[in-house]
Structure 1
Amino acid sequence: MSFQFNFNIEETETSPGECEISQPKEANDINRSQQNPHDERSGCGNHSTSDKTVSCKPATEHHIPEDVSSMLENTVVESSLGLQFVNVSVVEMTLSSSDVNREDLVNKSITSNSDLISGVYEGGMKIWECTFDLIRYFEDEDVSFEGKSVLDLGCGAGLLGIFSLKQNAKVVHFQDYNSTVIEKITIPNVLINCDSDNLTENIDGVASKKRAKKSDVKSGLLNKCHFFSGEWSHFTQLMQNQVPPMKYDIILTSETVYNPTYYSALHEVFQNLLANDGIVYLASKSHYFGVGGGVHLFETFIMESKLFNIQTLKIHNDGLQRMLLSLVFKHKS
């Protein structure tokens, strides 16, 4: 198991949640000169927001190719808590030379000396520790996913959605801001976990497939999965346009409240896509220095909206304080 937390952030033109506005060039220059290579989501770094210009990123559904062999070729696999996932460092090395014609996330991250560039890359290639906090909570509390429709929002590696999938969820949707994250990390992770019986590992720790075709993978699990990229407001609209409109029994999200700029779009997802008797499970650090977000500011935002009851489920005080929360519609209680 590997964690990667050492980065700072850079503000650019959009947010993952809605049509956002970016800082003028002078403000960005000042921020870049002041930034340090710290982990923004773990609470270190400098950041500010000011005047902005509008730009939007549409929501797109991604499909698993018929031949999945190329997606899993030379993949290095790690594991934790019974889940398997690709080694992101190997993915990054591959993308640094092959992704120049698409989002080019790795090279942009290196150029900016940042692993979180708002409106460009929102950290989906990293596995955040709060994700594992939430999985342990589900195991300890025997939370049931059986027969539930689940959304893994801001999924990144997709471990929360994969956990629910392995716990007999009815349908699981994976959403991340970046299409590269969905195609190069999320989908491969789902394939690995859906077909673990056919996954072998050679002496160098490189995963290979005995069978290459999509039809050979456990079709029952894959048929439950759908994958989406794009910002939250566009994703919300896409799901509302389904016939019938999509509603989720459970929404899972980890370390997505680091920037208060995104709270309105996040609240919009919960308001419009959560089933009437559904529940949101949210994991977060108490505070994210530099961006200013965190649990307490988000709780205030939610309470002022007067739509949800928000409850603290668990607090971890080892290192930077981390918290697990749940949200339900007020009428439920």
Structure 2
Amino acid sequence: MSFQFNFNIDESSPEECEVAQPKDTMLIEDKDVQSEPQSDLTESRQNSATSDKLVSAQPATEHHIPKNVSSLLENKIVENSSGLQFVNVSVVEMTLSNTDVHSEDKVKKSIMSNSDLISGVYEGGMKIWECTFDLIRYFEDKDVNFEGKSVLDLGCGAGLLGIFALKHEAKVVHFQDYNSTVIEEITIPNTLVNCDDDNLENNIDGEPTRKKTRKSHVETRLLSKCRFFSGEWSHFSQLMQNQVPPMKYDIILTSETIYNPTYYSALHGVFQNLLSNDGIVYLASKSHYFGVGGGVHLFDTLINERNIFKIHTLKVTDHGLERMLLSLVFNGKS
């Protein structure tokens, strides 16, 4: 199956985003975010203790789909291109901006201030970042097998990686994002419309279409494979380890999540604790994120320091900012 991505994507990237620090937050200014890129991993950890305290305030929570599915899709504009459905993010942002009360007011404020990234508060989950599509094209080109696999879409945002796995016969697909608003307003609706009987057939002419969805006839076989979580990575990892039996994933998918070195330890912990012994991580990233400090070099340094995983470069795309696809497996595994 081949998808044609004809829809509009926000092609800005985290390194181009204004890392705002609203006055009413308790963030302590991270000089690494505001200044030049860090020279090594040791320097990037200088403010990690403060940041760990900040992100620990975001507990891991599971989000359940209500019986009245149509309520989640009310006032959503759904776009369709070659069998892949997704809600229009601009409409969601406009709706949230006009809402007086919302469960995550900080996300609403970030939208109103036109900020795509506020470290430890809002992590850009409302946008579809371009490396996501690099990874999907790689899966198509290499015919990566998801059939019967347990899959985690980590830092999922719109959830397109997990939805791709779902459409390719994954056994279980779990979606995780830092912000609960992203899960409820973007990820779950996107999953629902891709499990909609009326939307399962490909758009024959390949042209993007747009419609307002008010009713949904959800294909329960697909939806029953999915679970949705929000919260900080360390808390999410602990939550899944506390499952009976503890959760392990055959495949972990993650895109543009290594932009901030402060989070590397928690990210590594998710991989170490939740990946099955013979599992694989697929990671898509810019080579470097200017103004935020992270990138492939620093992440590779941490992986080698920890000596738990073997990291491979799968593909390098050098059009404008260099983008890379990586895989991680446990040491001793091919």
TM interval, short-chain normalised = 0.7 to 0.9
Alignment correspondent of 1:23: 28
Alignment correspondent of 1:8: 18
Amino acid at match of 1:242: Q
1:206 correspondence with 2:211: yes
State the distance in 2 between where 1:72 and 1:80 align: 18
State the distance in 2 between where 1:295 and 1:23 align: 26
- Unaligned 5+ segments in structure 2 are 1-6, 38-43, 204-208
Alignment correspondent of 2:284: 283
Alignment TM-score, normalising by the size of structure 2:
0.84
In 2, are the aligned partners of 1:23 and 1:49 still within 8 Å (CA)?
no
State the distance in 2 between where 1:251 and 1:113 align: 30
Amino acid at match of 2:221: G
Alignment correspondent of 2:124: 123
In 1, are the aligned partners of 2:79 and 2:211 still within 8 Å (CA)?
no
Alignment TM-score, normalising by the size of structure 1:
0.84
3-state SS of 2:118 partner: strand
Measured after TM superposition, the shift of residue 291 of structure 1 is 1.3
Alignment correspondent of 2:229: 228
> What is the count of residue pairs matched by the alignment?
306
1:95 correspondence with 2:99: no
In 2, are the aligned partners of 1:9 and 1:118 still within 8 Å (CA)?
yes
- Unaligned 5+ segments in structure 1 are 14-20, 41-46
> Any idea what the Cα deviations from partners look like across 1:245-270, whole Å, max 9, x if unmatched?
00000000000000000000000000
The 5-angstrom pairing of residues 165-184 of structure 1 reads 165-184=166-185
1:154 correspondence with 2:155: yes
Change (3 A) 1:80 1:287: farther
State the distance in 2 between where 1:11 and 1:217 align: 40
Amino acid at match of 1:52: T
Change (3 A) 1:270 1:174: same
Alignment correspondent of 1:242: 243
State the distance in 2 between where 1:148 and 1:61 align: 21
State the distance in 2 between where 1:12 and 1:209 align: 36
RMSD across aligned positions (CA)? 2.9
1:52 correspondence with 2:53: no
1:297 correspondence with 2:302: no
In 2, are the aligned partners of 1:307 and 1:329 still within 8 Å (CA)?
yes
> Any idea what the Cα deviations from partners look like across 1:136-184, whole Å, max 9, x if unmatched?
0000000000000000000000000000000000000000000000000
State the distance in 1 between where 2:45 and 2:172 align: 38
Change (3 A) 1:148 1:173: same
> Any idea what the Cα deviations from partners look like across 1:283-323, whole Å, max 9, x if unmatched?
00000001110011111110111110000000111111100
In 2, are the aligned partners of 1:96 and 1:104 still within 8 Å (CA)?
no
Amino acid at match of 2:211: V
Change (3 A) 1:315 1:24: closer
Alignment correspondent of 1:188: 189
> Any idea what the Cα deviations from partners look like across 1:9-60, whole Å, max 9, x if unmatched?
13579xxxxxxx94259x79x95xx99xxxx9xxxxxx99748372321000
3-state SS of 1:287 partner: coil
Change (3 A) 1:107 1:312: same
In 2, are the aligned partners of 1:309 and 1:330 still within 8 Å (CA)?
yes
Alignment correspondent of 1:44: none
Alignment correspondent of 2:3: none
In 2, are the aligned partners of 1:74 and 1:206 still within 8 Å (CA)?
no
The 5-angstrom pairing of residues 76-95 of structure 1 reads 76-80=77-81, 82-95=83-96
> Any idea what the Cα deviations from partners look like across 1:99-124, whole Å, max 9, x if unmatched?
63321245421565521011111000
3-state SS of 2:238 partner: helix
In 2, are the aligned partners of 1:12 and 1:118 still within 8 Å (CA)?
no
> Any idea what the Cα deviations from partners look like across 1:78-113, whole Å, max 9, x if unmatched?
245641111100000001122633212454215655
3-state SS of 2:20 partner: strand
In 2, are the aligned partners of 1:280 and 1:328 still within 8 Å (CA)?
yes
In 1, are the aligned partners of 2:17 and 2:116 still within 8 Å (CA)?
yes
3-state SS of 1:152 partner: strand
Change (3 A) 1:158 1:99: farther
